[in-house]
Structure 1
């Protein structure tokens, strides 16, 4: 099931996306919220008549760095220590205020001269969880969506920590919806800028799987329904400029498109 969050006539609701042709998709409005047992209302509205919103409003976005070896290498990093042992995952946060939805603008931050796109598979948590064993990981996942971990690369490098570089307003577009029936093991992850392919990788190239990441993160913290885990980006990251249209496409989910604007 594809679950979208949307607004219509000033009201916000969740709906199940039905159909295959882009110009014929409809939303069957959900009674309640998708983080508990719910029913479809049978009330349907054309997708073209609503505004899609971020599919969730997370209390936190937990992001993973250096989870694709080729991406780590292109930034001059290794994923193993001096003895050849895999390093622990790099974990950082993006605040809830960084989250935006499909079609929302990405404001180019005034304090940066080098902003990059990073296409990523995002995991949406469906229930409160802590210390999740690997065999129970599927029980805590609601589904998956597309993400763009927009990064002020110059600030990331100069400040030696990533809070401002990856946490500025609009730096975490999510969408267009949550796909609940998906095997994340081997999906194509791509990014285009103005229609030109910039990234194209597969989740099978991740250093650590979705299961491993959730086990690792929940050893330290409680995840709440709607929280999001970003799983890392494949190689090919690069700059964005004001006026660019950037699109993240993930096999089995869809495409998340945003335009870069000058920050007002």
Structure 2
């Protein structure tokens, strides 16, 4: 299934994407407004969700929202693709010798087609395409061999980064957490629809120019290693989002950064695409 949050006629609901339509699941017993809660209840709710066929709306008639709007955690791993690590090394950035995790504050979550702010206080805003893994059940001390069993599904993450702010803080958190700097989507594709999440092609363009193209096979620590490592430290909860690393081709490696008017288009095999236009702080302010 492809589970989404959408707004139509001023109401935001949870739906199921089927082809070029979205089926409103609001009337299914147990489906509320929390995607994280639905994810936690998915084994119980799945038969009713799969059986729902109406009401159906044209996908083009709704506004897709952040698929998971209420995760407890939004975590990301740094320099986890071999070629990206090489370009970082060439730029004089030390390469971690173990998994390197940081927080993206959940307040930065953004819709799959919503604008991304280029803050006035940053001159080095960058893009990063990443495979997002969404946790499906409360878990701790997960073995690598069991890790796929705790995954609800996948989505695309644009780990937008204010590089100048990122490098002011050893934790990266501030530079990774500006409002709007966490577009995800376009929907949550459940795990059963993806044959092998370690063999997915990913591609990012800026204004139609290809900047990143790779495969999730290039990860240094794959998603199962990541879940085992993180769950050694903390309890993972339904709806938690893990951004699993970006491949080579980031703007920082070329000293080319985003500016208002730029359009980022991100796609991953089997997951669809998201697209975000960069806007100025004044444009964002005007929308409030």
Q: CA deviation at 1:138?
A: 1.8
The residue that corresponds to 2:40 in the other structure is 35
Q: Which moved more, 1:35-44 or 1:112-121?
A: 35-44
For the residue of structure 1 that corresponds to 2:233, the secondary structure is coil
Does residue 254 (structure 1) correspond to residue 272 (structure 2)? The answer is yes
Q: CA deviation at 1:17?
A: 1.0
For the residue of structure 1 that corresponds to 2:234, the secondary structure is coil
Q: CA deviation at 1:79?
A: 4.2
For the residue of structure 1 that corresponds to 2:229, the secondary structure is helix
The residue that corresponds to 1:5 in the other structure is 5
Question: Residues of 1 paired with 2:260 and 2:171: CA distance?
Answer: 25
TM-score (norm 2): 0.84
Task: Report the RMSD for the aligned CA atoms in angstroms.
Answer: 1.4
Q: CA deviation at 1:78?
A: 5.2
Q: 2:241 aligns with which of 218, 228, 238?
A: 228
User: Contact 1:134–1:211 at 8 Å: present in 2 too?
Assistant: yes
Q: CA deviation at 1:158?
A: 3.6
Q: 2:76 aligns with which of 32, 38, 63?
A: 63
Question: Residues of 1 paired with 2:145 and 2:11: CA distance?
Answer: 39
The unaligned stretches of length 5 or more in structure 2 are 32-37, 252-256, 283-288
Q: CA deviation at 1:153?
A: 1.1
Relative to total residues, which structure has the larger strand share, 1 or 2? 1
For residues 40-119 of structure 1, what are the structure 2 equivalents within 5 Å?
40=49, 41-43=52-54, 44-57=56-69, 58-76=71-89, 77=93, 79=95, 87-119=97-129
Runs (4+) of structure 1 exceeding 3 A deviation are 77-80, 158-161
Relative to total residues, which structure has the larger helix share, 1 or 2? 2
Question: Residues of 2 paired with 1:59 and 1:50: CA distance?
Answer: 27
User: Contact 1:120–1:149 at 8 Å: present in 2 too?
Assistant: yes
Question: Residues of 2 paired with 1:232 and 1:136: CA distance?
Answer: 21
Question: Residues of 2 paired with 1:263 and 1:226: CA distance?
Answer: 30
Question: Residues of 2 paired with 1:211 and 1:79: CA distance?
Answer: 21
Q: CA deviation at 1:130?
A: 1.4
Question: Residues of 2 paired with 1:105 and 1:201: CA distance?
Answer: 25
Does residue 164 (structure 1) correspond to residue 174 (structure 2)? The answer is yes
Question: Residues of 1 paired with 2:198 and 2:272: CA distance?
Answer: 17
Q: CA deviation at 1:11?
A: 2.4
Question: Residues of 2 paired with 1:249 and 1:104: CA distance?
Answer: 16
Does residue 136 (structure 1) correspond to residue 149 (structure 2)? The answer is no
Q: CA deviation at 1:119?
A: 0.4
User: Contact 1:69–1:79 at 8 Å: present in 2 too?
Assistant: no
Question: Residues of 1 paired with 2:277 and 2:140: CA distance?
Answer: 36
Q: CA deviation at 1:154?
A: 1.9
Count of aligned residue pairs for this structure pair:
253
